[in-house]
Amino acid sequence: MRHLDSERMQSSEPDGFEAGRPGDGAAGSGREPPRSMLEWTKEEMEQWCVASGFPPFHGPQILRWIHERLVTSFGEMTDLPTALRERLEGEEIISTGDVIREERAADSTRKLLIRYVDGQSVECVLIPEASRITACISTQVGCAVRCVFCASGLEGVKRNLTAGEIVEQVLALKRKLGPKEKITNLVFMGMGEPLHNVSNLLRSIEILRAPWGANLGARRITVSTSGPPGRIPRLTEAGVPVHLAVSLHAPYDDLRRKLIPGKTSPVADLIAESKEFFRKTGRRVTFEVALIDGLNCERDHARSMGKRLKGFPCLVNLIPMNPVEGVALRPPSTSAVLAYRKELESHGVEVAIRMRKGDKIAAACGQLRMRTDVARQGGG
């Protein structure tokens, strides 16, 4: 917003990048991505109207057009005065990206690839289930964590997404819904490490929770993290009672470092930080374990994991890994997954097995972007 000096205008400068990693730094033309009205609050919109010589009640009108009616141009806001629409068209923008590709799986999972004005692109996914529709959202272009089973970090991290670019993914997915459908749950489990972009993450959550935004309750929002040092405590201090999902994957540090080469806190610290998050927010923590054949799915791994988590009222999600193009890893057998669950349950740990969704459309993070970039480079 050009007329307000607010904290959110301070840069999309990388927050928590690892220096020297592939793709660090600015992307595309090197220009800072433009700010859009998708990251304005009701108060800021009203302030802009007043500063521009219009009554403040037009602010909520503009927000309804953007977040409820999902318009993409100011000309569509037909109940606004012509002078206000012209002022908006001359000074501001609604969105900064375009959906350039869409794929749909037999299970109705839909993946969108959104390209922003600097040429960078991210993925978001719509996951319909019997009782809910979940939006899976990205927070960075690429990822510095570089989990060995994930396509997002294969080319490093390019940049953080702005809060507006994060919100834009949700609106793009909402446009794909039927008239009686709505997004009921939101998970920050797409491309990027959300807590490497914590300021814009929190800003986007504020907007998406607002009655004039997606109107999602905090209990419907999950933030997934690998646990960069000091970042879970920062989320705890923010006081936003979202659900926390910690990508644990292994019960001890040497194996976990092989699976997650990026800089993260030791396993013991992650569990301690998660317990503090639970204590302060009252939200049960989920630990994610992506199971990979021959690496982390033996009974000894499960036993050690059970001992670490015993007595903590958490949930462990066992996730047979999604096959990733260019990665020579594969999911374990069903019997291995069931044996892992049985061992955890013997320690009193609650366990769920999360089945793959949309693997036929490369729904594992980063694969659609990677395939599209390869096609562009090859002239496809």
| Distances, alpha carbon 279 to alpha carbons 175, 269, 284, in Å | 38, 15, 9
Residue 273's contacts (CB-CB under 8 Å, 6 or more residues apart) are 227, 232, 233, 236, 265
Check 147, 150, 297, 365 and give the catalytic one: 365
The answer to whether the CB of 255 falls within 8 A of the CB of 292 is no
Beta 121-128 vs 133-136: how paired, if at all?
antiparallel
Residues 6 or more apart whose CB falls under 8 angstroms from that of 149 comprise 259, 290, 292, 321, 322, 324, 327, 329
Taking the CA of residue 289 as centre, how many other CA atoms within 13 Å lie in the half-sphere pointing to its CB?
Answer: 29
Respond yes or no: is residue 46 known to be catalytic. no
* Number of helical (H) and strand (E) elements in the chain, helices listed first: 11, 12
- The number of C-alpha atoms within 13 Å of 143 and in the hemisphere containing its C-beta is 33
Tokens of 155: 């080319």
Q: Of residues 18, 103, 123, 288, which has the active-site annotation?
A: 123
Q: Is 353 exposed, middle or buried (0-12, 13-18, 19+ CB in 10 A)?
A: middle
Q: Is 123 a catalytic residue?
A: yes
The length of the chain, given as a count of residues: 380
By annotation, the residues acting in catalysis are: 123, 365
